[in-house]
Structure 1
Amino acid sequence: MRLFLSLFSILFVLSCQEKTKIGPDFSQLETIPTKEQVGHLVLPDTIAKVSAPFNMPVFEKPKFPKRQINILDELGSSSEMATAAIQNAIDQLSTAGGGTVIIPKGDWKTGRIILKSNVNLHVEEGAVVHFSTNVKDYQPAVFNRVESIEVMSLGACIYANNQENIAITGKGKLIGPFGGEIKERAYTQPIETLVDLSKTAEERIHNGSQEDWIFPPKFISPINCKNVYIEGVSLENTAFWNIVPTYCDHVIIRGVYVNSYGIPRGDGIDVESSKNVLIEYCTLNTGDDCFTMKSGRGEDGLKVNKSTENVVVRYCLAQKGHGGITCGSETAGTIRNLYVHDCVFEGTVVGIRFKTRRPRGGGGEHLYYDRIRMNLEATCIKWDMLGTPAYVGELAERLPVREVNALTPFYRDISISNIIVENGTHFLKVYGIPESPLTNLTIDNVNATCYNLVIIHDAENVNIKNANIKTPDSIIELLGAKNISFNKVVFDLNKAALQKPDDVLFEDCSFK
């Protein structure tokens, strides 16, 4: 009898194992956060331990000496231009060993502010800081990177170079200089036509005194800095990219709200050739890409050769913007070790976005995306590796196949898992480069409702598994694609017949 029961148990287990479960594990998807559970409004007091698929440092809030200077004590009135008072307070505290400069409640006007080591610029709740729209208030030129090319330019509204242990904190509001002379003189041509790359960075001076155009100042941009902390502030009306750590090490950005919707080049947070970065509980509503990784542009970026690596983005909300989380298109120094998890993209155009161009160089690798909810205007996951003729001329044409060289970019080894798509157009669009196809992409555990299925041009080793894709579309479009497979995928096509390409592997899939 015992032998019979044992054999029965074995046969029962084997029969259960033979029943293949098709589609996603909904128990994993049910815990993905909603838009109310992420972003600046739910910022916790403490920084939780970071867990990532690669080694990350321990992130802690910085500490500053107890010295304080309140700029109201220096000025006596908020009606005056406060640039000198703020800068003098920063310089004085930094020289003394550090402390906190307090901008109290009220309306304040200022030009460029330069942060110094061991200083916390604290913008109190109720304080509104208006940055000047006059070019002269950002001169002289400082070392900067504009669209990932090194120049001497107006820099940033809040700028720092070669400083350590700096912070911008508080619940106050910063109003950028998108207006007046700054807006009227903002450059409109591709940057490659304006900067002489044969000169050194120090010789590429564009401060608004010799040309009728300018490179507008970014909003907050430390460069060559260590231990950078930004928390709680709100940014509006930027003239260019909002928060841009460049060549920095150990950066924390948390609880920030950015609103630059409707402003061209109004990127939210751009990590430029920086490492060991934590971005959490931020809300971005932008005129361009929301959360973006960059690492240098073309020959200039290859010469600098500084990667963006070891970056974690978590518990963030992307609202309006071209891309929720974007890599590129400036990729020369390579973007690697990026982990984006527990984020919501609500109303963004593209969800997970990858860009580069034939002459940009470098690329992206070891990129991980997990537990993301998307409600989008357009494509859910997209690669655009060719660009447009307006910027790269004939190199934007897919053919002829070009010879691989130092400026040929790549994307490879990318994992996307536990994704909910509430609305979108194409589930996946890949426009790779024939001589450098997207390689090794895995998309796992997805529940998606979208209008179209998949376009894959120039990609190899793409596996979509454990997914439910609901769409009225029945077309999978391939061009120059190899080793494309769907495993345990439910295609809910409203009874349309899926047009299966001959060279695609469908394993344990369901069609209805």
Structure 2
Amino acid sequence: MTGRYIGYWLITLWLLAGCRSIPLDRQLDKVLPTAERVGADQLPKAVEKVHSPFFDMDVARPQFPDRRDTVLPSESIQEKLDRLAEKGGGTLLLSGHHLTGRIALKSNIELRLDTGAVLEFKSEIADFLPVVFTRNEGVELYSLGACIYANGAKNIAITGTGRIIGPGEGSVRKQTMTHDVIEHIVDSETPVEDRIYDGKTADFIFPPALIAPINCSNVWIEGVSLERSAFWNIVPTYCDGVVIRGVRVNSIGIQRGDGIDIESSRNVLVEYCTLNTGDDCIAIKAGRGYDGLRVNRPAENIVVRYCLSQKGHGGFTIGSETAGMAKNVYVHDCVFEGTDVGIRFKTRRPRGGGGEHIRFENIRMHVVHSALRWDMLGQAQHVGSQASREFKVKVNALTPRFSAIQLHNIYIGSASDCIKIEGIPESVLEDVTFSRVFARGKRYLSIKDAKDIRIMNSLFDCQDYTVDTTNVSDLIQRNVDFKAAY
């Protein structure tokens, strides 16, 4: 174990063994990380050993051929990348300010942004043509792909301390599809190769993420700062072996400006990232609706640690596109400081999926709305009448489910709702354990459509201690204390 990991657990064991008289809030306040101890500013050079209760993962920094080249602002980045790939790979160093269209990484190449370097992307659809195979909001299609794109590459990296800036105002943003949800636009019965959205075949496009490798292995993203995305920022899709560390994301004010979305990828480590986003900070996704079921690839074997989520809809979110399921997810030693929601689980009746074998541990948060939130129904603007639990739906291929979830050592400094659960009647939330939770908020507990929910060894400091339940069975509260209403 590393010094940091041993330190946290030694303190925890000491508190459990000899300091049971100390209130839980003070215990957790001593042991859990603070904002000053996580995030990109605290990135160590070496990667600590990865621990997970679900799987083993060895992480090694990728090695590249001892071949280097530099690209100047007057030169083509893609031409330099292609020449380097023809020689067997190496490192391409960017310095200065570059303005470019889409670039595609090839195997055995490291793209390194020097200190002060700026990689800015153009704003017109023509700068991202021809269309490429991609997945947008969990649906496969051909459109603009990503600003930094790779398909089928092995051993690739994006590193350095420079800035990556997405498209400005232009046809990319003006012609982005926003008038409906994607499953109503892209027919799941249409062959993928015929789903072409280039701004001409259809008069709209699906916008490019900033960095989105697809079907890649051994992907390393470290140190860079991302801003002004047209869509999600970092989206490894169908990848195996991904490390994302020390990244800064700023997409405040950008709709669908997710920070890091792990999409149907496996063996993933995300650490020491700082996120300020226009949507979810870190999210796990695995396909949407019938198209996601067709592909049927989970997001699995994922560790997220030492990250700082400052602004965003959710500090950490699973969903809502999870048709292939999220599995074996371990999130520990993170801080959510000012996000709307802390930990959020999302599904939708028409989208399928869900998750299982998920553990959160050593989390500190101060949030605006709900701290621990299950939202399996969604809003009418996205799924129509299915957003109501009164709308009767029979179990079908798209029925979502969540189960086998643990939350341990959770400090909630402020929230409106401490625990708010909305399952669905035909597929209730199952098997969730909360242990050693301290929460200060307005409301303690609201649960609809759930069973086998356990709250243990916890302390709540709330204005309203009402337990609001609908269709709930086997709710166990054991050794749960309450402070006097403030």
How high is the TM-score relative to the length of structure 2? Answer: 0.94
What is aligned with 1:216? Answer: 207
1:53-72 CA-to-partner distances (Å, cap 9, x unmatched) read 01122011101111111012
Counterpart secondary structure, 1:120: strand
Corresponding residue of 1:37: 37
- TM-superposed deviation, 1:40: 0.4
Determine whether 1:53 maps to 2:44: no
Which residue does the alignment assign to 1:258? 249
> Which letter does structure 1 place at the counterpart of 2:47?
I
Work out the CA distance in 1 between the residues paired with 2:160 and 2:364: 29
Shift of 1:452: 1.0
1:485 partnered with 2:455:
no
Larger mean CA deviation between 480-489 and 294-303 belongs to 480-489
Please name the residue that 1:132 is paired with. 122
Q: Equivalent residues in 2 for 1:423-462 (5 A)?
A: 423-462=414-453
AA aligned opposite 2:109: V
Aligned to 1:11: none
More strand per residue: 2
Match of 2:67 in 1: 67
**Partner letter of residue 274 of structure 1?**
S
Residue correspondences, number: 467
Letter in 1 for 2:71: I
Pick one of 286, 289, 299 that aligns with 1:295: 286
Looking at structure 1, the residues matched to 418 and 28 of structure 2 have their Cα atoms a distance apart, in angstroms, of 20
Greater C-alpha Rg? 1
Q: Which amino acid aligns with 1:456?
A: I
SS of equivalent residue, structure 2 residue 332:
strand
* Residues in 1 aligned to 2:485 and 2:376: alpha-carbon distance in whole angstroms: 33
Q: Which residue of 1 aligns with 2:140?
A: 150
Provide the rounded CA distance (Å) in 1 between the counterparts of 2:401 and 2:465.
Answer: 30
1:422 CA displacement: 0.9
Q: In structure 1, the residue corresponding to 2:133 is in which secondary structure?
A: strand
* 1:360 Cα deviation after fit: 1.4
State the match for 1:242 in structure 2. 233
DSSP 3-state at the match of 2:219:
strand
Decide whether aligned partners of structure 1 residues 395 and 482 sit closer, same or farther in structure 2, where only a CA change above 3 A counts.
Answer: same
Match status 1:115 vs 2:105 = yes
SS in 2 for 1:54: coil
Among 331, 339, 346, the residue aligned to 1:340 = 331
User: Could you tell me how far apart the structure 2 residues matched to 1:409 and 1:446 are?
Assistant: 27
Alignment of 1:156-167 (within 5 A): 156-167=146-157
Q: For residues 117 and 400 of structure 1, what CA distance do their matches in structure 2 show? A: 50
Offset at residue 23 of structure 1 (A) = 6.4
1:21 is displaced (CA, Å) by 7.1
Q: Distance in 2 between matches of 1:319 and 1:28?
A: 20
Q: CA deviation at 1:394?
A: 2.0
Match of 1:361 in 2: 352
Output aligned runs, 1:309-458, within 5 Å.
309-458=300-449
Matching residue's letter, 1:168: I
> Distance between the aligned counterparts of 1:430 and 1:456, measured in 2?
5
Letter of the aligned partner of 2:129 in structure 1? Q
Cα distance in 1 for partners of 2:182, 2:54 equals 35
Question: Match of 1:153, as an amino acid?
Answer: S
1:182 pairs with one of 161, 169, 172: 172
Q: Find the counterpart in structure 1 of residue 188 from structure 2.
A: 197
**C-alpha contact (below 8 Å) 1:417/1:443 kept by paired residues:** yes
Cross-structure match for 2:8: none
| Letter aligned with residue 93 of structure 1 | L
Equivalent residue of 1:439, what SS?
A: strand
The one-letter code sitting in structure 1 at the alignment partner of 2:325 is T
Instruction: Answer yes or no: is the 8 Å Cα contact 1:22–1:466 preserved in 2.
Output: no
Distance 1:178 1:246 in 2: 25
Tell me by how many angstroms 1:27 deviates: 3.7
Given that 1:22 and 1:488 are in contact with CA atoms closer than 8 Å, whether structure 2 keeps it comes out as no
Give how far 1:28 is off.
5.1
1:10 alignment counterpart? none
**Is the CA contact 1:474–1:493 (under 8 Å) kept in the aligned structure 2?**
no
Amino acid at match of 2:361: D
From the superposition, tell whether residues 463 and 23 of structure 1 become closer, same or farther in structure 2 (CA, over 3 Å): farther
The residue matched to 1:473 in structure 2 has which SS?
A: strand
Per-residue deviation, residues 280-338 of structure 1 (Å, max 9, x unmatched):
00001000000000001010000000000000000000011000000000010000100
Q: Quote the Cα distance in structure 2 between the aligned partners of 1:435 and 1:211.
A: 38
Counterpart residue number, 1:505: none
SS of the residue aligned with 2:311? coil
The separation in 1 between residues aligned to 2:56 and 2:82, in whole angstroms, is 33
DSSP 3-state at the match of 1:472: strand
Secondary structure of the residue that 1:332 maps to in structure 2? strand
Q: CA deviation at 1:493?
A: 3.4
Q: CA deviation at 1:382?
A: 0.4
1:207, CA displacement in angstroms?
1.4
Task: State the match for 1:9 in structure 2.
Answer: none
Match of 2:92 in 1: 101
Distance across 1 between alignment mates of 2:119 and 2:235: 19
Gaps of 5+ in 1: 1-16, 73-77, 496-512
Matched-pair identity in %:
51
Is 1:23–1:445's contact at 8 Å kept on the other side of the alignment? no
After superposition, the C-alpha distances for 1:480-506 in whole angstroms (9 at most, x for unaligned) are: 1111121111111328xxxxxxxxxxx
* Kept in 1: contact 2:123–2:168 (CA 8 A): yes
Distance 1:405 1:21, change over 3 A: farther
Question: SS at the partner of 1:53?
Answer: coil
Q: What is the distance in 2 between the residues matched to 1:149 and 1:208?
A: 18
3-state DSSP of counterpart to 2:127: helix
Counterpart Cα distance in 2 of 1:380 and 1:259: 22
State the distance in 1 between where 2:462 and 2:354 align.
Answer: 32
Letter in 1 for 2:30: E
Structure 2 distance, partners of 1:216, 1:494, is: 48
Letter in 2 for 1:161: N
Q: Which residue of 2 aligns with 1:171?
A: 161
Q: Are residues 198 and 87 of structure 1, via their aligned partners in 2, closer, same or farther at CA, if it must alter by over 3 Å?
A: same
SS in 2 for 1:199: coil
Q: CA deviation at 1:25?
A: 7.9
Q: Would the aligned equivalents of 1:256 and 1:282 in 2 still touch at CA under 8 Å? A: yes
Give the aligned partner of residue 270 of structure 2.
279
SS at match of 1:64: coil
User: 2:6 aligns to what?
Assistant: none
**Counterpart residue identity of residue 166, structure 2:** G
Sort the Cα spacing of 1:373 and 1:25 in 2 relative to 1 into closer, same or farther, 3 A. Answer: closer
3-state DSSP class of the match of 1:408?
coil
Give the secondary structure class of the aligned counterpart of 1:319.
strand
- Rounded to whole Å, the distance in 2 between the matches of 1:387 and 1:426 is 17
